[in-house]
Amino acid sequence: MTSKENPKVLTYRFHEFRPSDRKALKGVLAEDGGSDLFVEALRIYLRKWADSDWLTEYDIERVGQWTVMHFPQVAQSVEDMAKKELASARNAQAKKTYKAMKQASHTEAEAV
């Protein structure tokens, strides 16, 4: 997987989140411009949860904690994105989604 891929395609790596997906995500972050692609794909992943009619907060927390623990270089961008989206959340589902990511990224960032 290269950073030239569409972030919508990369988003599926967050949904599956198998070891091979995590390896591919690590590869994206190692490339020039990979951080921006990674954060954009994560934003799209979260938007899908925010727009759904059910939520598995554990999945969001797991992705957030893994991201911040392994890639502190994007921790602030992830937390900022979650805060911004939480502030403009249009419904309870969206609020839960972005709150879960914000808490996961903030908690792990403090531990790192």
Provide the mean pLDDT of the chain.
88
Task: Note if the pTM is more than 0.75.
Answer: yes
C-alpha–C-alpha distance, residues 69 and 63, integer Å: 10
Confidence of residue 1 (pLDDT cuts 50, 70, 90): very low
Residue 39 has pLDDT above 70, yes or no: yes
pLDDT reported for residue 3:
45
Domain ranges in the chain?
Answer: 7-111
C-alpha–C-alpha distance, residues 60 and 46, integer Å: 8
Helix (H, G, I), strand (E, B) or coil at 35: helix
Helix, strand, coil % (nearest 5) of the chain? 80, 0, 20
